[in-house]
Amino acid sequence: MTQRVLILGAGGLLGRALRRTAPAGVELHCPTREDLPLDDLDRLGRRLREQPVDRLFLLAAWTRVDDCESDPERAFRINGILPGRIANLAERRGLPLVFVSTDYVFSGAAVAPYREFDRIEPVNLYGRSKAYGEGAVREASRAARIVRTSGLYGEGGPDFVASIRRALSAGGPLRVVADQITAPTWVDDLARALWVVGLGDEAGTFHLSAAGELSWCDFAREIARASGEDPERITPITAAESGRAAARPAYSVLSGQRAREIFGLSLPETRDALRAFLVGTGA
């Protein structure tokens, strides 16, 4: 049976990956931001009445983590308040909403991968706005699927892999944060898993990110290695030395145990995924 899926934010990094990996039997509806601005709920309501769908994926977000610090109003409106209203609209139509969230809802004080039920305690505005969005979505809709992921990169970027490769080809040394541990995730791996969770029957919160964990500095060195460059060109620095506007959790690895138990899903290991991605780009 055909599943009609409306994606909000289909032009972004993850949206493009979902379009590339859509399974057979999925009919995609991918309005642009101009067709369907997130804050025009009347237009979204009309669209859902006139062209009913079976699932709504909400990827659209303000993802510029450092910029969120200087415009909390905008961050909370787009990442926090609107998702709740959209979930409410979806719930009234009996439509399961898939909301994508982030590892940045956690404080980073943990020493083992975060589970879905662990306490959220964001350390930056972006994380707080997404955490607010999660709460609003949960409150509005019991049918919602909330999927947290981490450190996305993939075709077309913009992302960490592209920035490091650009900086490597420009020559000169590179300084990368070594005291933040995460699991950078190839967006195509996430997209394939997100289709399973998004079209599945189980509601609730799920973690989907690459297996394994490493610091951004080690990941940058992997990128260098896989690109035939000398990894020693990358110098470790501390987060404090990086001078970025937003704090980041020191440890934000997500446990994929729940998705594994319920859906049999496990994403590839982060270094293997990087190599698969780079081979695909012809690097």
For the annotated catalytic residues, the residue numbers are 126
Ranked by CB distance to ligand NAP, the top (closest) residue is 12
Site residues for ligand NAP per CB under 6 A: 9, 11-15, 33, 37-39, 59-63, 78, 100, 102, 130, 149-152
Q: Are 253 and 181 in contact (CB under 8 A)?
A: yes
Given the complex with ligand NAP, which of 152 and 226 has the nearer CB atom?
Answer: 152
Minimal distance, residue 136 CB to ligand NAP, in Å: 14
Given the complex with ligand NAP, which of 152 and 250 has the nearer CB atom?
Answer: 152
CA distances from 22 to 7, 28, 42, 122 (A): 12, 8, 28, 32
Minimal distance, residue 33 CB to ligand NAP, in Å: 4
- What letter represents residue 111's amino acid? V
Minimal distance, residue 232 CB to ligand NAP, in Å: 27
Minimal distance, residue 257 CB to ligand NAP, in Å: 19
DSSP 105: G
Q: Give the rounded distance of the alpha carbon of 267 from its chain centre.
A: 14
CA distances from 178 to 37, 58, 216, 231, 236 (A): 38, 32, 6, 14, 5
Backbone angles phi, psi at 205, to 5 degrees: -105, 140
Given the complex with ligand NAP, which of 11 and 233 has the nearer CB atom?
Answer: 11
Given the complex with ligand NAP, which of 18 and 224 has the nearer CB atom?
Answer: 18
